[in-house]
Structure 1
Amino acid sequence: MKSLYFRIVTTFIVVALVSGLIAFLISNFYYQAKLKEFNEEKILEIAQEIVFLHENSADLPIDQFLTSIANMNFQLYLVDETLNGESFGEGFRNYSLDENIIKSVLAGNTYHGISEFQSSLFVTGFFKDDLKNSIGIPLKVNGKNQALFIRPNVEKQFGEMRIVFSLLLGLTFLLSLVLILVLTTYLVRPIKKLTKATRKIASGNYNLQLESNRGDEIGALARDFGLMATSLQKLDEMRQEFVSNVSHEIQSPLTSIQGFTKAIRTKSVSPEDADRYLGIIEKESARLSSLSKQLLMLSSLDKQVKAVEKAPFRLDEQIREVILLTEWQWSRKKLHIELDLPELIIEADKQLLFQVWMNLITNSIKFTGDHGTIFIDAFVDEDIVVTVRDTGAGIPEDELPYIFDRFYMGDKSRARTSEGSGLGLSVVKKIIDVHGGSIGVTSKLREGTEFTIRLAR
């Protein structure tokens, strides 16, 4: 498997090569479109100047004159009327040229060979020293028409600069490659640290020291990774606590059931005690059944196995139904129930919301003293809002952030064998969440507690 370091280095090299190729193509296009004709015009001006100088220096033989011009780094080729030619200066690599072109120049026309030269579409064609790649201009020598073909000797004029530019490009590429190799190491190093940190987390070690003071994306990734590790650690601790609590919640009633069953089977207890023991067994069995149902509901909601089957129904009627079902509980404690429930139609999962009102109302009944009052109100603003308020014992302020945690019990003094498992409010919170709503709580000790539920209309 190719490493990230190798991939980054390869990517940089490919980018450099492709960028160089694209730059060359753009430069070539610019030369072909703009500079090629401009270059020919300059050489044509030079050729015309040479003709002018010859015509005004008749005392100098043509051979000496053209040799002097060639010594200024030009390639010259003179053709007479019999099509015999003579080179001056550095010779052309290829002298092949259509006779009609030579005759046209001898007749007084100008040959634009540089702009018409098509041996290459690239700018490198400028350096090709073919006779075709030249300017042809008529020249009178001793009263006779001759054709003078001229082009700059690029090798002599720009030879040193070609070496300089080649060296510059080569060193630029090599130095870029070295810098890429070095700098990529610093780029990949924090990623390698994150990889090691991932292995530590996989092995259960959440204590990580990552470089998170960087201001770039790597630093942001390191910070987010640290937060993820902290969250995973908390999640793992919650999982362990959850397993421990479930085991304890199940073990306690099972121990009671086992003990009282043995006592009854030995027939060493009176009929009255046996009947009381059977009542405790029934109560603990019901508690186990309730615990298992709540755990299954939480599990299905967590995994989204249970679909939220929304349908319209009367919310006020559902809450009144819960009040009727719990009448034996609140009437036994002589509680007052104050209802303010206008007719409300909501589209939601009826079965799940029934569980919400049942848990909240039974909690209020449980923690409200005799002759207390429970207020249940509903109204509509942007959402449907339901409040359940009681005049019960209240919840300490420092415990309010944890009351929706699973197996959390605010009353630390009570035994696990008493009613409740610490899952009721967790179930409520989860159901409200899957409906896209929210639940809030305010409470004061010895004054009461109020739950506020918001659900979309």
Structure 2
Amino acid sequence: MIGSLYTRVVLTFLVSVIGGTIIAFFAATWIFQDELNENLQITLLDFGQDIVRIYETLPLREAEMFISEMKQLNSYHIRIYTATDQFQSYGEFSGHHPFPVTTEQVKKVLDGGRAQVNGIDTIFLGLPIETEMGSRAMFVEPITPSSTSSLIKFVVTFLVYSLLAGSLLILISAMFLVRPIKKLTKATRRIAGGDFNVKLNIKQKGELGTLARSFEEMMRDLQQLEQMRREFVTNVSHEVQSPLTSISGYAIALKQVDLPDHERNCFLDIIITETARMSKISDSLLKLSLLESQTSQMRLTTLSLDEQIRRVIVAIQPQWSARNIQFELDLQPAKITADHELLNQVWTNILGNSIKFSKEGGRINVRIKQDIKNVTVCISDWGIGILPEDQKRIFDRFFKADRSHSQKYEGSGMGLAIVKQIVSLHQGDIRVESEYGRGTTFIVILPITTPAV
């Protein structure tokens, strides 16, 4: 029970407030004790000196009669000692016990001295009196509690009720404070169990509200990651299952003894092709994993972007010349700081897709534009285009936009996912503009200077 946040919040508050209150109480009492008693000391001294003057002015009997009838005896108690053990008192305490007077104090006053006691609960004054019958010692003590004592009792009573009211309020407020955290705890357990359909309904502002909103964003991200994971497993299984099925089937066929040589060679070629396809899928997955984890450190150099694109076009000449595709180049000279090998793969993948999905004898346009901060590369073709609903997922791994021609156009669906990750590592952006049946344009925006990763 003590381990719960609610209990700990309440106990921490109570301990802090009670401890601070006690310390503050004693500190204030110690600091202001003399100041609180000062007025009563002055009043007590004035009253005692008045009694002394009465004895000095009137005969002893008249003075005693006068004092016994004084109205001030409702507030003061007077003891007049003729010897150390003989005294006459005036006034009644009404249940209050008088302050004990010691023999030493009586002797001191009889000898003409003064005795005074100042405490939190007691103020006591002793003065000498000269009468015609000799010296006497008078001790005056307030009957009503001192201002200090009354104030202390008031403060203590006030603090007790304040603590009780404050404790009740903190119990209620802590309940509202802890409730969102309990909701977050329950939501965390449900998410850990694989349930992402959790609604917090926390409308508070401040730090708790920010925490709740951040938690909801994290929950949505986890839900998307879980969906991506499931799709990834499904896609990998599908992509790998197809070549494995082909390899298995043709390997079984090769076991036939009377198989003609030309069919045997044909089956072996298919097995080799499917094996290469699996190897390519595995290599693409590994490369994308390294790029996403950024364990592959970029080797930044200053390169001529227009010259790099020209070299890539020349390198893939067998692909576009076999289909009679023409290139239109508008390459403004541009130098950027980037990883040469990674960017080389970007242009190879994008241009390879443009060639693959262009019509026989088609045309591909490549343009470079540069401003103060960025370089923009636009690669346009007039091929089959991409459906609007597919354009949002074109950079997802294993996604193939042209599903109706998936057998006609070979590929694992990993190329554009790798391109997207490489561009992101360079702090750039890539987007696609396409109209189905009329062509596609890939727009790559790269900063002139890429921050080191």
Is TM (by shorter chain) over 0.5? yes
Distance in 2 (CA, whole Å) between partners of 1:365 and 1:28 is 92
The CA deviation at 1:223 is 4.3
Which residue of the other structure, out of 237, 251, 273, is the alignment partner of 1:247?
A: 237
Segments of structure 1 that go 5 or more residues without pairing to the other structure are 115-124
Deviations 1:84-118 (A, max 9, x none): 987766532464878998599x37xx88864xxxx
CA RMSD in angstroms comes to: 3.9
1:224 to partner: Cα distance? 3.8
* 2:399 corresponds to which of 377, 401, 408: 408
| Cα distance in 1 for residues equivalent to 2:446 and 2:65 | 106
Separation in structure 2 between the aligned mates of residue 145 and residue 357 of structure 1, nearest angstrom = 121
In the TM superposition, 1:33-432 aligns within 5 A as 36-37=34-35, 39-52=37-50, 55=53, 58-59=57-58, 60-62=62-64, 65=67, 68=70, 71-74=73-76, 91-93=98-100, 95=102, 106=112, 114=118, 125-127=119-121, 129=122, 134=124, 141=131, 150=140, 152-153=142-143, 155=145, 166-181=156-171, 183-215=173-205, 217-263=207-253, 266=256, 277-337=267-327, 338-346=329-337, 348-369=338-359, 370-415=361-406, 418-432=409-423
1:146–1:211 distance in 2 versus 1, CA, 3 Å: farther
Deviation at 1:342, TM superposition (A): 0.9
Q: May I ask how many residue pairs the two structures share in their alignment?
A: 436
Distance 2:65 2:408 in 1: 124
Q: Displacement of 1:309 after TM fit?
A: 3.4
> How many angstroms apart in 1 are the aligned matches of 2:408 and 2:32?
92
Distance 1:73 1:94 in 2: 19
- 2:32 corresponds in structure 1 to 31
**CA offsets 1:286-310 (integer angstroms, 9 cap, x no match):** 3222211110012122333322333
Paired position in structure 1 for 2:9:
8
What is the rounded CA distance, in whole Å, between the counterparts of 2:243 and 2:141 in structure 1? 108
Report the TM-score, using the length of structure 2 for normalisation: 0.79
What corresponds to 1:453 in structure 2?
445
Provide Cα deviations, 1:101-151, integer angstroms capped at 9, x if missing partner.
Answer: 8599x37xx88864xxxxxxxxxx422x3xxx6456666555977675555
Asked if structure 2 preserves the Cα contact closer than 8 Å seen for 1:136 and 1:147, the reply is yes
Q: Are residues 38 and 159 of structure 1, via their aligned partners in 2, closer, same or farther at CA, if it must alter by over 3 Å? A: closer
Give the conservation status (yes or no) of the 8 Å contact 1:441–1:450.
Answer: yes
Taking the aligned partners of 1:265 and 1:281, their CA distance within structure 2 comes to 14
Percent identity over the alignment? 33
Taking structure 1 as the reference length, the TM-score comes to 0.79
| Mapped contact 1:101–1:111 kept (Cα < 8 A) | yes
Q: For the residues of structure 2 that align with 1:167 and 1:224, how far apart are their CA atoms?
A: 46
| Residue range with higher mean Cα deviation, 426-435 or 262-271 | 262-271
The answer on whether the counterparts of 2:381 and 2:441 sit within 8 Å (CA) in structure 1 is: yes
* Larger mean Cα displacement after TM superposition, 147-156 or 371-380: 147-156
Distance in structure 2 (CA, Å) of the matches to 1:324 and 1:97? 121
What SS class does the counterpart of residue 395 from structure 1 fall into? coil
- Helix, strand or coil: the match of 1:126? coil
Gap change, CA 1:111 and 1:242, over 3 Å in 2? same
- Partner of residue 17, structure 1: 18
Distance 1:103 1:317 in 2: 119
Seen in structure 2, the aligned counterparts of structure 1 residues 389 and 27 have a Cα distance that, compared at 3 Å, is farther
Q: Name structure 2 gaps, 5 residues minimum.
A: 92-96
SS for the counterpart of 1:420 is: coil
The 3-state SS of whatever aligns with 1:241 is: helix
Structure 1 residue 253: Cα displacement: 2.0
Distance 1:345 1:5, change over 3 A: closer
Q: Kindly indicate whether the alpha-carbon contact (under 8 Å) linking 1:70 and 1:76 is maintained by their aligned counterparts in 2.
A: no
Letter in 2 for 1:367: F
Instruction: Indicate the residue corresponding to 1:120 in structure 2.
Output: none
Question: Structure 1 residues 294, 147: CA separation in 2 closer, same or farther (over 3 Å shift)?
Answer: farther
CA distance in 2, matches of 1:262, 1:433: 45
Maintained 8 Å contact 2:386/2:402: no
Q: Secondary structure at the match of 1:204?
A: coil
